[in-house]
Amino acid sequence: MTDETTDNFWAAWHLPLEEIKPIFHRLYYDDQGNPLFYSQTDLPGNYIDIEPEVYTAPPNHVRVVDGKLVILKIALISKLYPGEVGVPCHPQDVSIVVDKSHTHIKWSLQ
């Protein structure tokens, strides 16, 4: 006993398989190497093929140089904070280091 749903299933099962298209993982970029967008579609423009891991978690601050992905180094910003530990400095000028026996404020880099 068959119904229309079962007949449609078996008809679809016996259809020829379409050619499997390759999956692209690409980074498209401008003429200066600045990234424009990531895509899995074959589009016109400058691109490099990238690993699937890079595609799923793209790094920030990248450039394309000589056809290769280059991750730019990011400068970390530090700040001086007054506290219990650190370098003793003049109370009115942090750029003047004083002996700890003098009146001072201790500054540390964080």
DSSP symbols for 65-105: ETTEEEEPPPPPP--EEEESSSEEEETTEEEEE--TTSS-E
Query: To which residue do tokens 């180094």 refer?
Result: 73
pLDDT at 11: 82
Please list the rounded mean pLDDT of every run of 10 residues in the chain (110 residues). Answer: 81 74 88 93 93 86 92 84 92 92 91
Cα separation, 29 vs 27, in Å, equals: 6
pLDDT at 74: 80
pLDDT at 39: 93
Amino acid in the structure at residue 90: H
Tell me, what DSSP letter sits at residue 20?
P
pLDDT at 12: 80
Query: To which residue do tokens 């016109």 refer?
Result: 44
pLDDT at 77: 82
Closest of 30, 36, 68 to residue 51, by C-alpha? 68
pLDDT at 2: 66
What phi-psi label fits residue 31: left (phi over 0), alpha (psi between -120 and 50 degrees) or beta? Answer: alpha
> Structure pTM?
0.52
Cα separation, 74 vs 103, in Å, equals: 38
Instruction: Tell me the pLDDT tens digit for each residue of 48-71.
Output: 999 988 888 888 889 999 999 998
